Amino acid sequence: MATLADSFLKLVSIMDDLREKCPWDKKQTMATLRPLSIEETYELADAITDNDFAGVKEELGDVLVHILFYSKIGAEQGQFTLQEVIEGVSNKLITRHPHIYGDVTVQDEEDVKRNWEKIKLQDTSKKSVLQGVPKALPAVVKATRIQEKAKQVGFEWDNKEDVWAKVNEEMNELQEAVSANDAEHIEEEFGDVLFSLINYARFLKVDAEGALEKTNKKFISRFQQMETIAAEQGKALHGMTLDEMDALWNKVKQLNNHHS
């Protein structure tokens, strides 16, 4: 029976073969792989959200292939090898977990996160605690990560009541901008409202991105039920009045509440 090492080295060997012999694989660069890697990561995220373990297993395999592919290209260009990638992350994990591999004592996960950020700042190539937040992250996720990073150095609100007061303050500023009909200011204040709401979500221990995605899925489900009911009545939504659509929406909501 193959060991984990055997299976891993077999996959590395397959990647070598594909890079050498497959016309598509030969042509790829880090730049052409990048959007595909992002797509694979979203597919993994979808499988996790759906609690689809078969899907998670498959998507993890796809992500692993991309890691090997980047490492192969890095080696071809004389930049780094797969072994250096593995050794690098192993050493980083050991360094950043002194409570496991050293003599540091921690009380809880917050202590671990604080230590992690302090150790990262000791890396002289990183000038800011926010430097590790990827530029390409979706805005809601990025806002959450920025706030979490700032928290690790103590730049944080005292309690959720203060955060909610900030949400209301930003809402009032948005309304002032709307009243003034100042388009640029409206956009800025709308961004501030979202940022403060995401901050409030953190204090409520709610994943803002996950919560919004659940609402997206709920809306899609209800809207498609509206379309189905309308079709059963021989109608289409674009031919109905807003009042008729509202009545359908309320009917769908009642059906869903009844079923739950």
For residues 14 and 26, membership in a common domain is answered with: yes
User: Is residue 109 in a domain?
Assistant: no
pLDDT class of 52 with cuts at 50, 70, 90: very high
Residue 9 sits in a domain whose CATH number is 1.10.287.1080
CB 167 within 8 A of CB 161: no
Is a pLDDT exceeding 90 seen at residue 252? yes
Asked whether residue 90 falls in the same domain as residue 76, the answer is yes
What the block records as the tokens of 135 is 């530029």
Total structural domains in the chain? 3
* Confidence category of residue 258, pLDDT binned at 50, 70, 90: low
Buried-state track 83-105, b at ≥16 Cβ within 10 A, e below 16: eebeeeeeeeeeebbbeeeeeee
Domain span at residue 69 reads: 4-94
Whether residue 61 has pLDDT greater than 70: yes
pLDDT digits (tens, 9 = 90+) for 8-27: 999 999 999 999 999 999 99
209, HSE (Cβ side, Cα atoms, 13 Å): 13
Name which of 72-86, 131-145, 167-181 the model is least confident about.
Answer: 131-145
Which of 53, 77, 94 is the C-terminal boundary of a domain? 94
Distance separating alpha carbons of residues 183 and 95, to the nearest angstrom:
49
Does pLDDT of 39 surpass 80? yes
CA-nearest of 170, 174, 196, 171 to 185 is: 174
Q: Are residues 82 and 12 in the same domain?
A: yes
Residue 188 and residue 254 in one domain: no
CA 255 to chain centre: 32
pLDDT for the residue numbered 260: 45
Which pLDDT does position 124 carry in this prediction?
63
Q: Which of 94, 125, 149 is the last residue of a domain?
A: 94
Does 152 fall in a domain? no
Return the percentage of the chain with pLDDT > 70, whole number.
98
Residues with Cβ within 8 Å of residue 153, at least 6 apart in sequence: 117, 129
- 33 pLDDT band, cuts 50/70/90, is very high
Residue 121: inside a domain = no
* Least confident range of 54-68, 118-132, 136-150, 227-241: 118-132
Query: Dihedral through CA 196, CA 198, CA 200, CA 202, nearest 10?
Result: -140
Q: What local confidence, expressed as pLDDT, does residue 105 receive?
A: 84
| Nearest alpha carbon to residue 89 among 108, 106, 67 | 67
Contact 81, 16 (CB under 8 A): no
Q: Over the chain, what is the mean pLDDT? A: 93
Let me know if residue 179 belongs to a domain: yes
Residues 236 and 169 in one domain: no
